[in-house]
Structure 1
Amino acid sequence: MLKDIPKYIKYRIDRMLNKGLFYQLLLLVFAIIILLLIVSIFIIVFFNYPPKDAFWDSLMQFIDTGNISSVDGSIGIVLTFLMVTFIGVCGWGSLIAMINKALQDRINNLSKGNAFIMEKNHAIILGYGEEALTIVEEFIMAKVKTIIILSEHNVDIIRKRISFIKGSKQTNIIIREGSASRIENIKLLNIAKSSSISIINNDDTESLNILLALKKIVEEEELDKKINICVLVHEEDTIEIIKSIEEKNFVIHVIYKYEILYKLIAQSIIYTGLSNVYEDLFSNDGNVFYIETDHDFNDCKFEDAALKYLERGMILLGITKEDRSQLLIPNYDYLLKKENRLVILSRNNNDDNIKEYPDIKPSIVKYKNNILLICEENRYDEIIKEISEYMENHNTSMISYNSIKSQKNKYKFMREKLKEENTTKIVLISEDNVTDVKSINILLIIRQIIRKENLNIAILSLLNSIQKRNLIYSDDVRDFIVSGKLIGMLMAQASISSNILYIFYGLLSKNGKDIIMSPYSDYFNESKSFKDVYLYLLRKKVIIIGVKRYNDVIINPNNDCMLDNKDEIIIITNYVLEEENEELIF
C-alpha cells in the first residue's frame, strides 16, 4: 500500500498538469511555498536565523536575484540563499515557459477552428482545391472584407499561397484547420451571419457530408435567413442527390465542373477567341454582370433605358424577373415595368480602346472544322457526348496520349498528323495531374510545329492544375488554356450574386441562347461607332457586348470606338421571347 503512494501522487500531478495553465500555475505556486517553508525551517534550526524574517527573506531571494549581494551572515546562510536564488531563476523560467506554451496552444487552437467567429457578412469557403485560391482572389477583387477558409489542409501552406495574391494583406482572411464536414467546426463559423458559402472538394462524397452538416445546423438553429450555398461537383450523379436535400431556406447552387469546361471548349472551337470573352465575364477584375432591381425606368422604352446605360459606360443586356430565370431580350419599344429586373454589363476601371491594325479581313471559318481531339482513350466517348451538340457540322478525329507517347519522333508524327487530317482546331483534354504533364509536353511540341510550319491552327487545352496553366499561359487568342481557374471565377460570381450563375448557364447553353462572333460586314457596309452598332442591332433583338479585332478581344469598349470591316462583333443572340397580352413571360 505504501509503495503505491508515490505513484498516486505522480498520477495526480500529471492530471493537474494536463488541465491547463491555471492548474499548472497553482501547482507551481504550491511547490514554491513548500520550498520556501523548508528553507525557512532549515536556516532557523541550523543557523539561528530570526523566525519572523526567515520566510520573507527567503521569498525576496527567490524573487530578486540581486538581493544576494546584501546578505549578511555565515557562509552557510549565504550558500543557502544562493541556492534559493538559483531555484528562483529556474522557477521564473518555468513560469515563462508555461505562459508561452499556453499562448502557443491557444494560437494553434484558433488556427484549427476552436473559436467562434464574431464576424458578419463574411464569405465562407469549406474545403480546399485548385479553385479555392481563385475564389479568394475574386472575393478580394469584389471587396469582400472577411474571408474564412476551413479545410483539413495545412494552415501555413494555405496562408503562404494566399500571401502571393494581390490585396490579400488588406483583406481579413481567417484560415482554420479541421474537418469541414464536422458540425462542431461549422457551428463556430457563424453561418447565420455569413454572406455566402462555397464548398470545394476533390471528392463529391465529402461535399455531400458538408451539405448534410449545414442542413442539420439550419434545422437545429431554426434559421429564418435564406442560406445560399454554391457547391462544386465532379460527377453528374451527385447533382440529383444534392437536389433531393434542397429546401426553401436551404438553396444549393450546383456547378458541375466538367460540363461547364466542356461547353466552354465546344463553343470556343466554333469561335476562336470566345474563351477570352468568358474569362473576362467570369472575373471580378473584368467587366461585371449585375442585376438592377431598384431602377426608375417604369413605363420607359427598353431602347431609351439602354441608351442611358450606354452613356454611363454600361450595356443593358435584357431582363430577368425571378430567381434562377434566364435572360430575355425584349423588343426595343417594350415598356419596362418597375418589377422588371435589369441585367447590366458594367465596365471595369480600365478604358478599353480598340487597337488599330492594317486592313485585315477577319478570318471567320465558314467551312467545316477538322478537329483533332487529344485525350485519354477511355474518356473519348464521354467527351464527345458532352460537346456533340456543338459538333454537328464539324469533323472530329481522336488520338490518345499513349499513342503519341509511343512514337519515337513525336514532332514528326504530330506534324504529319496535322497535315494529313488538314486540322483547323486542336483540343487537348486533361482531367488529372498525371495527364496534365502529358498534355503540356504535347502542347509545347504542337506550338513549335505551328510556329515553324506557319500553320493557322487554333489550340484549346483543358488542364486540371491552375498552377500548370499559369506556367504555359499564352496571350494568343488562338492558343487558349481552360482550367479550374474559370470554375473558381464562376463560383465566386455565383457566391456574390447567385442569380448571375443562371445567366451564365443560359449563355453556355446552345438551346436558344448563345454568345457568338460574327463578321461586322454581315450587318454593315460602312464604319460605325460602337454606340450606333448597339442601337441598330437592338432593333433586331441582338445585343453587342464587344469586339474582336485581329488578336484583341475587347468587352464593352468606349461608345465612340469606330468599328469596320476588319472586326468581328461579339453578340448575344437567338433568344426566344414569348408574348402574351403584351407582357413578358418568364
Structure 2
Amino acid sequence: MAQRRTSFGDRARYWFDSTLARGASALVGWMALLCLAVVVPASAVVVWTDPHAPRSLPDRLAQVWHLTGETLRLGGATGTPLRVTMSVLLALVALLYVSTLVGLITTALTERLTALRRGRSTVLEQGHVVVLGWSEQVFTVVGELVAANANQRRAAVVVLADRDKTAMEEALGTKVGPVGRTRLICRSGPTTDPAVLTLTSPATAGVVLVLPRDEPDADAEVVKTLLALRAALAGTQSRPPVVAAVRDDRYRLAACLAAGPGGVVLESDTVTARLIVQAARRPGLSLVHRELLDFAGDEFYLVGEASLAGRTFGEALLSYPTSSVVGLVRGDTPLLAPPPHTTITADDLLIVVSRDDDTAWPGPCGQWVEKAVTVSGPPTPARPERVLVLGWNRRAPLMVDQLRRRALPGSVVDVVADRGEETARQVRESGSRHGPGPVLTLHPGDVTRPETLERLDVHSYDSVIVLGQDPAPGQPEDHPDNRTLVTLLLLRRLEETTGRELPVVTELVDDRNRALAPISPGADVIISGKLIGLLMAQISQNRHLAAVFEELFSADGTGIRLRPAGDYVLPGCETAFATVVAAARERGECAIGYRSRDEASAGPGHGVRINPPKAERRRWTDGDEVVVVGRD
C-alpha cells in the first residue's frame, strides 16, 4: 500500500518546530526575521509614499534602511558597508547590555516577590502575638485576638504554619473577616525548625500561642514546637509567655517542661469532657461559657482597688454597679467565691466580670437590695441522674469519670455504641474506676439507625450526650460530625413524634456544622476546637487567668452553675439584680447573671444575660435561672 505523501504545510511546520528545539539562538533568529519581515516592507511604504522622499532608488533604499534601523534600534547609519556594519554591531551591543540589565533586575524582583509570597522574610514587630501551627482553632484564636485589639492602635498577629502563605491569608480573610486596626501577618515554614521560628521574632513578642494540628500525632508536634521555640530563644534575655494545648494528658508534663516556667499548657480533651458533663447536668450552661470566653461580651479581668483594702469580700460583691465580683487573686492563687467574711488585703486583686478593663469602677449598690423578697430556705436538693451517651470516642472515658465524681446513689449512665473490643474494654474500665458510682451499661448498637433509638426510652433520661466517633487513620478530622448530624436528625424526629423536647448536649468538631445541626437554637453544643481557642485567646491577654479557668472548669472546684431563681428570690416578685447578688452571698456564692425562661428560644443570647447592672429590675419567674460561681 502506497504511503500518503506528507503535505508541504506539515513538513514546513515540522522544520519550524525542529529549529525552535535548538534553543534560544533559534528563537532569537526567528524573532529577527519576523521583525524584518514586518518592519522593512512597512518602512518602504512610508518612504515611497512620502512626497519629500529622494528621487533616486539608492537614496530611497538608504532612507528605508535608516527608518528600519531607527525602528529596530540598530543605529540606522548609512554609508560604506563597514560603517553600516559597525553601526549595527554597536546597536546590538547596547541592546544586549540593556536586555541583560533588565533581565537581571526582573529576576531579582521576581525572586524577592516569590520570597515574600512564600513568607520567608523576618517580622520586625514589638509586643505582637505569635500563633504557631494551623488547625480549625486558628480562626477562633485570630478572631478573638482581633476583637481584643479593637481599641489598640498598633497591634499585630503573626501566624506561622507549614502552609502556603497566600492560602493562609485567603482562609483567614474569609473566615475571620475584617481585622480592623490589627495587622495580620502570615509566614510559611515548619514550626519545629528554630531557624524558621526566628522569622516571627519571638524574642520581642508579647505572647506565643502553640496550636495542635488536626491530626493524631498533634501532641508530639506541639512538644517539638515548644522545644524549637526554646532553642530559637536561646541566648536572649526576654522570653515571652507561652500558651499551648495538647489533647492527651500524657503529653502535658513534657509540654510543660518544654514551655518553661512561665508556660501554660491546656488539656483540650479534659476541658471539653468537663464542660460537656456540666452542660448535661444543667442545660444552657454552654451558652454561659460562650458568653464569658469570647471578647464580644463581658469577660474576666483582674483589677486592684485600694479603697476595698481591709473590707470583706461580701462587701465587695455589692461595690461595683456595672461589674460582677467573683473572687480574689492572692499571690498567684485564685480564690473563687471565698467566704463572705474574707478580708481583702492591699495586695489582693479582684476577679471581676466586666465589659472591659476600664469599666470596673466602684460604687455603692446596697440601696437596691430588697431583703423582703429574698429566699432563705435550703436550696433545691439534687437527685439521682439518668444519662444516655450516644456514641463513643477518646473523650468518653473522661466524661464517664466526671459523671462518677458527683453522681448520687442510684444514678445510671447508659452507653449506646457499636460493639468493638476496644470500646467494650474502655467501657468496662470506666465502670470499674473510683469505686462506687453510677451504674454504667453498654448497649451495642448503631446510633445512626432509627431502630437503635426507638428501642430506647430516650425521654426517661435527664440528659442525652451525642458524641462522634474518632476518625480512622487517613480520614479527615471532621468525619465524626457526619454521624453526629444523622443521630441528631433521628432525635429530632423522636421529638416531633412525641411532642416532648429532649435535653441534648452535642459535641461537634467543626464549628461550621453548628448551623447544620437539627437542634433548637439555644441547645447545648460543645465545639472542642473553638472552646480551646477561646480559652487560649483569653489567657494570651492575661496569663494569670489560666489559674482562674483551671479552677472554674475543674471537676471538684468552684465552678459556674445554673441555679433555679426560686432559690434566691420569691417567684413573681419584681426586684433589682442586686437583691439576687445579696441572696447568693448568703449561700457563699457570687451571682453574675441569669437566664430568662421566656427568652430561652430567642437569639442571640437565648435568654442568657451576663453581668447585668445591679440596678436592673425584672420580674423573676419559676423557670428563670441564676448564673452563679460556687460549689455544688
TM range (shorter): 0.7 to 0.9
Work out the CA distance in 2 between the residues paired with 1:535 and 1:155: 54
Note the C-alpha offset of 1:522. 1.6
Work out the CA distance in 2 between the residues paired with 1:90 and 1:117: 39
Q: Are residues 74 and 435 of structure 1, via their aligned partners in 2, closer, same or farther at CA, if it must alter by over 3 Å? A: same
- Per-residue CA deviation, residues 306-356 of structure 1 (Å, 9 max, x unaligned), is 43422xx21111211123x2233344455432201111100379x9xxxxx
Q: Are residues 70 and 334 of structure 1, via their aligned partners in 2, closer, same or farther at CA, if it must alter by over 3 Å? A: same
Note the C-alpha offset of 1:398. 1.0
Note the C-alpha offset of 1:72. 3.9
Q: Could you tell me which of 222, 225, 240 is aligned with 1:227?
A: 240
Larger CA deviation: 103-112 vs 529-538: 103-112
Note the C-alpha offset of 1:482. 2.7
Which letter maps to 2:250?
Answer: D
Q: Which residue of 1 aligns with 2:348?
A: 340
Work out the CA distance in 1 between the residues paired with 2:220 and 2:447: 42
Q: Does 1:396 align with 2:377?
A: no
Which letter maps to 2:256?
Answer: K
Q: Are residues 235 and 69 of structure 1, via their aligned partners in 2, closer, same or farther at CA, if it must alter by over 3 Å? A: same
Q: Which residue of 2 aligns with 1:494?
A: 539
Note the C-alpha offset of 1:183. 1.2
Map of 1:4-83 to 2, 5 A cutoff?
Answer: 71-73=77-79
Work out the CA distance in 1 between the residues paired with 2:95 and 2:444: 70
Note the C-alpha offset of 1:479. 4.2
Work out the CA distance in 2 between the residues paired with 1:500 and 1:407: 42
Which letter maps to 2:324?
Answer: I
Q: Which residue of 1 aligns with 2:335?
A: 327
* Identity over aligned pairs, percent: 20
Work out the CA distance in 2 between the residues paired with 1:90 and 1:418: 87
Map of 1:301-312 to 2, 5 A cutoff?
Answer: 301-310=312-321
Work out the CA distance in 1 between the residues paired with 2:523 and 2:448: 26
Q: Does 1:107 align with 2:113?
A: yes
Q: Does 1:185 align with 2:196?
A: yes
Q: Are residues 90 and 280 of structure 1, via their aligned partners in 2, closer, same or farther at CA, if it must alter by over 3 Å? A: farther
Larger CA deviation: 137-146 vs 455-464: 455-464
Q: Which residue of 2 aligns with 1:240?
A: 253
Which letter maps to 1:427?
Answer: I
CA contact (8 A) 2:323 2:613 kept: no
Q: Are residues 470 and 157 of structure 1, via their aligned partners in 2, closer, same or farther at CA, if it must alter by over 3 Å? A: farther
Note the C-alpha offset of 1:190. 2.1
Map of 1:20-419 to 2, 5 A cutoff?
Answer: 71-73=77-79, 92=98, 95-143=101-149, 145-164=155-174, 165-168=176-179, 170-202=181-213, 203-221=218-236, 223=237, 225-245=238-258, 247=260, 250-293=261-304, 295-310=306-321, 313-323=322-332, 325-332=333-340, 334-347=342-355, 367-376=383-392, 380-381=396-397, 383-392=399-408, 394-400=411-417, 410-419=449-458
Q: Which residue of 2 aligns with 1:359?
A: none
Work out the CA distance in 1 between the residues paired with 2:300 and 2:447: 50
Q: Are residues 375 and 298 of structure 1, via their aligned partners in 2, closer, same or farther at CA, if it must alter by over 3 Å? A: same
CA contact (8 A) 1:65 1:85 kept: no
CA contact (8 A) 2:117 2:166 kept: no
Work out the CA distance in 2 between the residues paired with 1:378 and 1:335: 44
Q: Does 1:565 align with 2:573?
A: no
TM-score with structure 2 setting the length: 0.70
Work out the CA distance in 1 between the residues paired with 2:110 and 2:444: 52
Larger CA deviation: 176-185 vs 334-343: 334-343
Work out the CA distance in 2 between the residues paired with 1:375 and 1:83: 83
CA contact (8 A) 1:466 1:483 kept: no
- Per-residue CA deviation, residues 174-194 of structure 1 (Å, 9 max, x unaligned), is 111111111112223222221
CA contact (8 A) 2:146 2:180 kept: no
Q: Could you tell me which of 443, 446, 463 is aligned with 1:425?
A: 463
Work out the CA distance in 1 between the residues paired with 2:455 and 2:94: 85
Work out the CA distance in 1 between the residues paired with 2:561 and 2:517: 27
Note the C-alpha offset of 1:461. 1.5
Q: Could you tell me which of 429, 438, 462 is aligned with 2:507?
A: 462
> Any stretches of 5+ residues in structure 2 without a counterpart?
1-66, 360-379, 421-442, 472-476, 601-606
Note the C-alpha offset of 1:531. 1.8
CA RMSD, 1 decimal: 3.5
Note the C-alpha offset of 1:564. 1.0
Count, aligned residues: 495
Note the C-alpha offset of 1:397. 0.8
- Per-residue CA deviation, residues 414-456 of structure 1 (Å, 9 max, x unaligned), is 234244x723322122344232221222222222332343222
Q: Are residues 333 and 367 of structure 1, via their aligned partners in 2, closer, same or farther at CA, if it must alter by over 3 Å? A: closer
Note the C-alpha offset of 1:377. 7.1
- Per-residue CA deviation, residues 499-518 of structure 1 (Å, 9 max, x unaligned), is 11211111112324121111
CA contact (8 A) 2:416 2:445 kept: no
* SS state at 2:346 partner: coil
Q: Which residue of 2 aligns with 1:555?
A: 610
Q: Are residues 99 and 443 of structure 1, via their aligned partners in 2, closer, same or farther at CA, if it must alter by over 3 Å? A: farther
Q: Does 1:503 align with 2:548?
A: yes
* SS state at 2:135 partner: coil
* SS state at 1:128 partner: coil
Which letter maps to 2:387?
Answer: I
Q: Are residues 416 and 558 of structure 1, via their aligned partners in 2, closer, same or farther at CA, if it must alter by over 3 Å? A: farther
CA contact (8 A) 1:140 1:171 kept: yes
Larger CA deviation: 283-292 vs 433-442: 433-442
Q: Are residues 438 and 85 of structure 1, via their aligned partners in 2, closer, same or farther at CA, if it must alter by over 3 Å? A: farther
Answer 1 or 2: which has greater helix percent: 1
Work out the CA distance in 2 between the residues paired with 1:396 and 1:494: 34
Which letter maps to 2:454?
Answer: R
CA contact (8 A) 2:191 2:228 kept: no
Note the C-alpha offset of 1:477. 2.7
Larger CA deviation: 407-416 vs 139-148: 407-416
Note the C-alpha offset of 1:213. 2.0
Note the C-alpha offset of 1:543. 0.7
Note the C-alpha offset of 1:286. 2.1
CA contact (8 A) 1:474 1:480 kept: no
CA contact (8 A) 2:445 2:452 kept: no
Q: Are residues 447 and 89 of structure 1, via their aligned partners in 2, closer, same or farther at CA, if it must alter by over 3 Å? A: farther
Q: Are residues 535 and 125 of structure 1, via their aligned partners in 2, closer, same or farther at CA, if it must alter by over 3 Å? A: same
Note the C-alpha offset of 1:492. 0.7
Work out the CA distance in 2 between the residues paired with 1:67 and 1:517: 86
* SS state at 1:117 partner: coil
Q: Are residues 544 and 152 of structure 1, via their aligned partners in 2, closer, same or farther at CA, if it must alter by over 3 Å? A: same
Note the C-alpha offset of 1:243. 3.4
Note the C-alpha offset of 1:383. 4.2
Work out the CA distance in 2 between the residues paired with 1:297 and 1:100: 68
Which letter maps to 1:204?
Answer: D
Note the C-alpha offset of 1:396. 1.3
Larger CA deviation: 146-155 vs 387-396: 387-396
- Per-residue CA deviation, residues 191-232 of structure 1 (Å, 9 max, x unaligned), is 2221111111231111111212222344422x1x45311111
Name which one, 1 or 2, has greater alpha-carbon Rg: 2
Larger CA deviation: 387-396 vs 225-234: 387-396
